[in-house]
Amino acid sequence: MSKQVVEKLKSNFGTLVLSDAEYRGETTVTVERSEIVKICTFLRDDCGYNFLSDLCGVDYLGRTPRFEVVYNMYNLTDKTRLRVKVLVDEQSPCVDTVSGVWSTANWHERECWDLMGISFNNHPDLRRILMPADWVGFPLRKDYPLQGPDREPYQGRLS
Amino acid sequence: MATETMTINMGPQHPSTHGVLQLILELDGEIVVKATPHIGFLHRGTEKLSEYRTYHQVIPLTDRLDYLAPMSNNLGYVLAVEKLLGITDLIPARANNIRVIMAELTRLKSHLVWLATHALDIGAMTVFLYAFREREEIVDIYEKVSGARMTSNYFRVGGLSDDLPDGLEAIIRKFAEDMTGHLETYEGLLTGNKIWQKRTMDVGYISGQDAIDIGLSGAALRGSGVDWDLRRDAPYCNYDEYDFEVPVRTEGDTFARYKVRLDEMRQSIRIILQGLDKLKPGPILADCPQVCLPAKKDVVNTIEGLIHHFKIVTEGFKPEAGEVYVGIEAPKGELGYYLVSDGSAKPYRMKVRPPSFVNLQALPQMVEGVLLADVIATIGTLDIVLGEIDR
């Protein structure tokens, strides 16, 4: 089933689909960042992925581009999952918002901005959500120390 | 006559916000014009912490997400790690069986707290006392299997930390059989009660389409007529071998969600009783020495067992690089774990998809235009817990 979706995406968007992978029975498609809204709308309307389970950012420090934004979506009709990713570079970490496609993306994107520092263009309400409003820095980035900024590293056992 | 709206603050120290939730409410008289939730007061950085711990050391952190349903959190996490390792099929039948029994007891435990506090918020105090009495029995069962009443840390990657103690099966069976009668008691106090109906019918309405769009899951979605349950639609832990129904109601209001959850509890009792019937002696840990801790008797009696134990505890295990997303039907909805491995002994990234976080997002649209008193009912019916919202 998900193979067909990948084929469908490729035939409709051609080179905008950068790669696809299969791991432990889960399909991941990496697509071009600039067209994410168009691709998500297509997936929702023409492929039935009407439920966005989760959206999050991953920091691959040392890799270029550094960040990934991951969309885990679900098809409520045929009960299949699909994972879509976009690559986001360090210089301008931003993606167009998909909150117009699934309203549930609103808070997920706020969280991603709050903790990972990836901003979302045209987002209706991009504020910090878990951290205090005046917080400086993005805690889930790999170069953000676990004990917080300007503090001695914890001397005890961490793992 | 000039009128203006008034902005009032509700929470974070308010008993009916079910934790540290703050709502800024804009009111026109007693009608809510706009509600803005503020969250994060309980943020403990679980996802960040998990990147600094081995896979096994993350399990106790998951207890503290939805602290009303710790074993469901454990379950989602260990299933994700097992999928990452590719050992899902190696989990012994007895371990899966006990996992299902405990997961369903957890559902009852979580729903009992929901019912108790929801009813208390609306003014029905008696139910609170009854529901907590029954919850106490589940907490005792928790204590017997795991040693802890709340933070169980019972499941392990590959199986369970320990087998059920002697005599516990009879206790669980007795509890499950009695529970049906208790549910009748709750329903007797509430379902036909005119005040209860007035406070819940047509309150907090959301249509099925809106519910899908905003990402509602679990009973909140099934109360709006969307027939979706991950236990049936993407079975894990051999849920497909159990005979149960998925209750669905189409009204989309608070009363519908109340009925769905109560019917769900009846189904949980059915599953628990079936699970007890299926229970057969056997191993409780998968046969993969590179992942699972050895049996305690080997650790204390043999040098090989001790070395094995030492290696797993200090070094952990290293799944190959890859990523998985596993969603389970937790009491509050779809609980998802997205795990990324870079081939080391610690998760490179763990993202939790907490059902309460997403369900709470629907609150502003559900309370727009309703009375202030109905905000309380709507928070209750969404069944949120701030531990997993703030993580």
| Res B271 pLDDT > 90 | yes
| Res B1 pLDDT > 70 | no
HSE (side-chain half, CA atoms, 13 Å) at B101: 30
**Cα B73 from Cα B136, distance rounded (Å):** 20
List of chain B residues whose C-beta atoms are within 8 Å of the C-beta of residue A58? 340, 348-349
Local confidence band at A69 (pLDDT 50, 70, 90 cut-offs): very high
Cβ contacts of residue B235 below 8 Å, gap of 6+? none
Calculate mean pLDDT across residues B88-96.
90
Q: Which domains does chain A have, with CATH numbers?
A: 2-98 (3.30.460.80)
Q: Which helix (H) or strand (E) holds B196?
A: helix B194-200
CB B23 within 8 A of CB B37: yes
| Res B16 pLDDT > 80 | no
Calculate mean pLDDT across residues B188-192.
88
Choose among A117, A56, A74, A139: nearest CA to B354: A56
Looking at the DSSP bridge assignments, the partners of residue B334 are B329
**Backbone φ, ψ for residue B60 (5° rounding):** -65, -30
CB B160 within 8 A of CB B284: yes
Instruction: Give the model's pLDDT for residue B104.
Output: 93
List of chain B residues whose C-beta atoms are within 8 Å of the C-beta of residue A54? 325, 336, 338, 351, 353
List of chain A residues whose C-beta atoms are within 8 Å of the C-beta of residue B53? 158-159
Q: Please, what is the Cα angle at B63 between B57 and B65, to 5 degrees?
A: 115
Q: Which two tokens stand for residue B337?
A: 């774990």
**Cα B77 from Cα A119, distance rounded (Å):** 28
CA of A77 vs chain B CAs: smallest distance (Å)? 9
Chain B residues interacting with chain A (CB cutoff of 8 angstroms)? 39-40, 43, 45, 47-49, 52-54, 57, 83-84, 86, 212-215, 226, 228, 233-234, 322-325, 327, 334, 336, 338, 340, 346, 348-349, 351, 353, 357-358, 361, 390-391
Interface test with A, best of B313, B325, B366 (most A CBs within 10 A): B325
Domain boundary assignment for chain B? 6-390
Instruction: Give the model's pLDDT for residue B234.
Output: 87
Instruction: Give the model's pLDDT for residue A14.
Output: 80
Instruction: Give the model's pLDDT for residue A157.
Output: 64
Q: Flag if B323 and A28 touch (Cβ within 8 Å).
A: yes
| Res B195 pLDDT > 60 | yes
List of chain B residues whose C-beta atoms are within 8 Å of the C-beta of residue A139? 45, 48
Calculate mean pLDDT across residues B58-77.
91
Chain-wide mean pLDDT for chain B? 89
Strands B22-28 vs B31-38: parallel, antiparallel or unpaired: antiparallel
> The dihedral of CA B182, B185, B189, B190: what is its sign?
positive
Minimal Cβ distance to A139: which of B48, B83, B84: B48
Chain-wide mean pLDDT for chain A? 87
CA of A46 vs chain B CAs: smallest distance (Å)? 16
Calculate mean pLDDT across residues B294-315.
88
CB B94 within 8 A of CB B76: no
**Backbone φ, ψ for residue B62 (5° rounding):** -70, -25
Minimal Cβ distance to B86: which of A24, A59, A115: A24
Calculate mean pLDDT across residues A30-39.
89
Calculate mean pLDDT across residues B184-206.
89
Local confidence band at A47 (pLDDT 50, 70, 90 cut-offs): confident
DSSP letters of B284-309? Answer: SB-S-TTTSPPPHHHHHH-HHHHHHH
H helices present in B123-167, as ranges: 125-146
Looking at the DSSP bridge assignments, the partners of residue B285 are B159
Bond into A145 cis (ω within 30): no
Choose among B381, B292, B367, B391: nearest CA to B18: B381
CB B62 within 8 A of CB B73: yes
In angstroms, what is the C-alpha Rg of chain A? 17
Calculate mean pLDDT across residues B284-300.
86
Instruction: Give the model's pLDDT for residue A1.
Output: 57
CB A36 within 8 A of CB A60: no
Domain B6-390 class, CATH top level: mainly alpha
Q: Flag if A103 and B215 touch (Cβ within 8 Å).
A: yes
Q: What percent of chain A has pLDDT over 70?
A: 97
For the stretch B17-53, pLDDT in tens is 677 888 899 998 888 999 999 998 889 889 998 998 8
Instruction: Give the model's pLDDT for residue B295.
Output: 81
**Cα B106 from Cα B149, distance rounded (Å):** 12
For the stretch B353-366, pLDDT in tens is 999 999 999 999 99
Q: What percent of chain A has pLDDT over 90?
A: 28
| Res B174 pLDDT > 80 | yes
Q: Please, what is the Cα angle at B188 between B71 and B333, to 5 degrees?
A: 30
Minimal Cβ distance to A81: which of B86, B322, B325: B325
Calculate mean pLDDT across residues A88-100.
89
Q: Helix or strand or coil: residue A76?
A: coil
Q: Flag if B215 and A79 touch (Cβ within 8 Å).
A: no
Minimal Cβ distance to B52: which of A70, A102, A159: A159
Local confidence band at B288 (pLDDT 50, 70, 90 cut-offs): confident
Q: Which residues of B347-362 are buried (b: 16+ CB within 10 A; e: fewer)?
A: bbbbbbbbbbbbbbbb
Whole-Å CA distances, B296 to B164, B292, B301, B309, B342 = 15, 12, 9, 9, 31
Calculate mean pLDDT across residues A67-93.
90
Instruction: Give the model's pLDDT for residue A108.
Output: 92
List of chain A residues whose C-beta atoms are within 8 Å of the C-beta of residue B39? 129-130
Does the CB of A23 have a partner CB in chain B at under 8 Å?
A: yes
Instruction: Give the model's pLDDT for residue B2.
Output: 66
| Res A158 pLDDT > 60 | no
Calculate mean pLDDT across residues B225-242.
89
Q: Which two tokens stand for residue A44?
A: 């929702």
Instruction: Give the model's pLDDT for residue A113.
Output: 92
Instruction: Give the model's pLDDT for residue B77.
Output: 93
Local confidence band at B98 (pLDDT 50, 70, 90 cut-offs): very high
Interface test with B, best of A51, A114, A146 (most B CBs within 10 A): A51
**Cα B109 from Cα B68, distance rounded (Å):** 7
Instruction: Give the model's pLDDT for residue B341.
Output: 92
**Cα B376 from Cα B18, distance rounded (Å):** 10
| Res A137 pLDDT > 80 | yes
**Cα B108 from Cα B132, distance rounded (Å):** 11
Q: Flag if A104 and B357 touch (Cβ within 8 Å).
A: no
**Cα B1 from Cα B23, distance rounded (Å):** 29
List of chain B residues whose C-beta atoms are within 8 Å of the C-beta of residue A51? 212, 215
Q: Flag if A24 and B84 touch (Cβ within 8 Å).
A: yes
